[in-house]
Amino acid sequence: MCQSCHCHVETVSHALVECNRARKIWRYSNLAEELRGVHRCDIVWMLQFWPRQHAKVEGAEVAALLWAIWKARNKWRFEGKKENPLRVVANAEAIILRIQPNLKKLYLLIRAGDDKSAKQRMFRDVIEKDLFRVLRDTWGDSLDSFILEKVVAVPGDISYEDLGIKNSNLKEEMYRQIDLVINVAAITKFDERYDALLDTNIMGAFQLRRAMRESGMELDSFNFDPKSIDWEDYFLNVRIPGLLIYVVK
From CA 227, how far away is CA 5, in angstroms rounded? 24
In this prediction, residue 166 carries a pLDDT of 92
In this prediction, residue 109 carries a pLDDT of 92
Altogether, the residues listed in the chain come to a count of 249
Say which residue, 220 or 163, is predicted with more confidence.
163
pLDDT at residue 120 greater than cutoff 90: yes
In this prediction, residue 180 carries a pLDDT of 76
In this prediction, residue 107 carries a pLDDT of 92
Per-residue pLDDT band for 187 (boundaries 50, 70, 90) equals confident
Single out the residue of 161, 174, 153 nearest to residue 216, CA to CA: 174
Per-residue pLDDT band for 156 (boundaries 50, 70, 90) equals very high
Q: What is the mean pLDDT of the chain?
A: 81
Single out the residue of 30, 49, 29 nearest to residue 39, CA to CA: 49
Q: What percent of the chain has pLDDT over 70?
A: 85
Say which residue, 243 or 173, is predicted with more confidence.
173
**Per-residue pLDDT tens for 1-33?**
887 777 888 888 888 988 888 888 988 887 887
pLDDT at residue 224 greater than cutoff 60: no
- Burial (0-12, 13-18, 19+ Cβ within 10 Å), 214: exposed
In this prediction, residue 169 carries a pLDDT of 92
In this prediction, residue 235 carries a pLDDT of 75
In this prediction, residue 152 carries a pLDDT of 92
The stretches of the chain forming alpha helices (DSSP H) are 12-13, 20-28, 32-35, 43-48, 50-53, 59-79, 85-99, 115-122, 133-139, 143-150, 168-177, 194-197, 204-215, 231-234, 240-246
From CA 204, how far away is CA 200, in angstroms rounded? 5
CB atoms within 10 A of CB 156: 21
Residue 235 gets the label, from left (phi > 0), alpha (psi -120 to 50) or beta, of alpha
In this prediction, residue 98 carries a pLDDT of 67
In this prediction, residue 110 carries a pLDDT of 93
pLDDT at residue 246 greater than cutoff 70: no
In this prediction, residue 100 carries a pLDDT of 66
In this prediction, residue 185 carries a pLDDT of 80
pLDDT at residue 227 greater than cutoff 70: no
Least confident of 1-10, 92-101, 106-115, 168-177: 92-101
pLDDT at residue 247 greater than cutoff 70: no
* Strand-pair partners of 137: none
